[in-house]
Copies of this chain bind each other. A is one copy, B any other.
Amino acid sequence: MITTRQSDIAKKLNISRVTVSKALRDHPDISRSMKIKVKETAADMGYIPNLIAKQLNSRKTFTIGVVIPDLENSFFAYVADSIIDCATEKGYRVILTVSREKESVEKENIENLIGMRVDGLLICISQETRNTEVFSQIKRMNIPLVFFDRIIRDNDFSSVVFNDKEGAIEALTQIITSGYRKIAHFSGYSGISIGKERLNGYKTALKKHNIPLKKEWIIEGGFEISDGRNAMRKLISQGEMPEVILAVNDRVAMGAFLEAKKTGLRIPSDVCFIYYGFSETNNISSPSMSVINQDPRKLGIRSAQILLDLIRKKTNSKPVREILDEQIIWNKSKKKL
């Protein structure tokens, strides 16, 4: 790679490299005419400042490091997009890393980002993550960090998450007061926080309205389309069908939806769906399903804002814990739900 340095400009103009440095940064020391001369030659020579060198002595990189579990998941793609948007607007770059839901990869990514001396970290932990040693080190090193969407317990970092439990309670309350009482839940794994909270919301809502839990109607599995299909098959094989199915995420809902259609069930008259997700994933299912909408852009933007405030010390060191509300988007066919 061929680059022009300040010293090259200095040599060409027969002046000191410091003069060049100052002139380029509009330092008041330098005369107007000299500034113009320097800037013109810099442009002529295609000078592009070496940020690495700048960073080394300012100990600021204007870069934030992001760790997400998976970019193919469009929820996270939207989050990443809005983080980049927000960061870029404020003059920060983004190094994006993907953990593939593996704790070990996550750890590598984080250490790598710290090695790059990013000014702050935005992390959504993997489903596997148990060991919190890395995070203690981050605390010790005093690196600004904001967890988003998923959090580790017992920490004093800032975080931004959705109000999972409340979402289910609100949605199911409305459904129940509309007269439905036969409600099943495809819950993913209740091992990870997201699964647990949503299941928790489901149970709480039913209890609140004195609807007894039916164990067969809480079907665990995974978080993928195939898991939704399996859950639906299992449900159908059991005989009695619910009127409403609450799915833990969009992919499970999709799988269940497709399987239901395949089996000849009419939607929404035989059974209808509501799921945790975000509106953009629901574009083409027909008839459309209802959504407990968790807006990824809101999540990304708030996380980035909080981190940047932390970096710029606009916040005192007390951790900010933000809980975002979801909106419920009802299926357009108002007949059902």
A→B interface (CB under 8 Å): 1-3, 46, 48-53, 55-56, 59, 61, 63, 70-72, 74, 77-78, 80-81, 84-85, 88, 93-98, 111-112, 114-117, 119, 137, 140-143, 225, 254, 257-258, 261, 283-286
> Distance (Å) between the CB of A81 and the closest chain B CB?
4
Residues of B within 8 A of A55 (CB): 52
Residues of B within 8 A of A1 (CB): 59, 117, 119, 141-143
> Distance (Å) between the CB of A321 and the closest chain B CB?
22
Report which of B2, B117, B142, B254 forms a contact with A51, defined as CB distance below 8 A: B117
> Distance (Å) between the CB of A229 and the closest chain B CB?
12
Q: Quick one: copies of this chain in the complex?
A: 2
Report which of B51, B77, B117, B225 forms a contact with A283, defined as CB distance below 8 A: B225
If A52-B117, A88-B98, A111-B48 touch, whether A142 touches B71 (CB-CB below 8 Å) is no
Report which of B53, B81, B117, B225 forms a contact with A71, defined as CB distance below 8 A: B81
Are A93 and B72 closer than 8 Å at their CB atoms?
no
Whose C-beta in chain B lies nearest to the C-beta of A142? B2
Whose C-beta in chain B lies nearest to the C-beta of A73? B77
Q: Once the chains are docked, how many angstroms separate the CA of A137 from the CA of B46?
A: 7
Are B117 and A50 closer than 8 Å at their CB atoms?
yes
Whose C-beta in chain B lies nearest to the C-beta of A297? B72
Whose C-beta in chain B lies nearest to the C-beta of A141? B2
List, sorted by A's number, 22 A–B pairs whose CB atoms are closer than 8 Å.
A1-B59, A1-B117, A1-B119, A1-B141, A1-B142, A2-B140, A2-B141, A46-B137, A46-B140, A50-B117, A52-B56, A52-B61, A52-B117, A53-B56, A71-B78, A74-B77, A84-B96, A84-B98, A94-B96, A254-B284, A285-B286, A286-B286
Q: Once the chains are docked, how many angstroms separate the CA of A119 from the CA of B1?
A: 8
Q: Once the chains are docked, how many angstroms separate the CA of A283 from the CA of B81?
A: 23
Report which of B74, B142, B261 forms a contact with A286, defined as CB distance below 8 A: B261
Whose C-beta in chain B lies nearest to the C-beta of A225? B283
Residues of B within 8 A of A72 (CB): 77-78, 81
Residues of B within 8 A of A112 (CB): 51, 93
Residues of B within 8 A of A284 (CB): 254, 257-258, 284-285
Q: Once the chains are docked, how many angstroms separate the CA of A241 from the CA of B137?
A: 66
Tell which of A74, A96, A119, A140 has the most Cβ of chain B within 10 Å: A96
Q: Once the chains are docked, how many angstroms separate the CA of A95 from the CA of B84?
A: 10
Whose C-beta in chain B lies nearest to the C-beta of A262? B286
Residues of B within 8 A of A117 (CB): 1, 3, 50-52
> Distance (Å) between the CB of A35 and the closest chain B CB?
20
Report which of B52, B94, B141, B285 forms a contact with A52, defined as CB distance below 8 A: B52
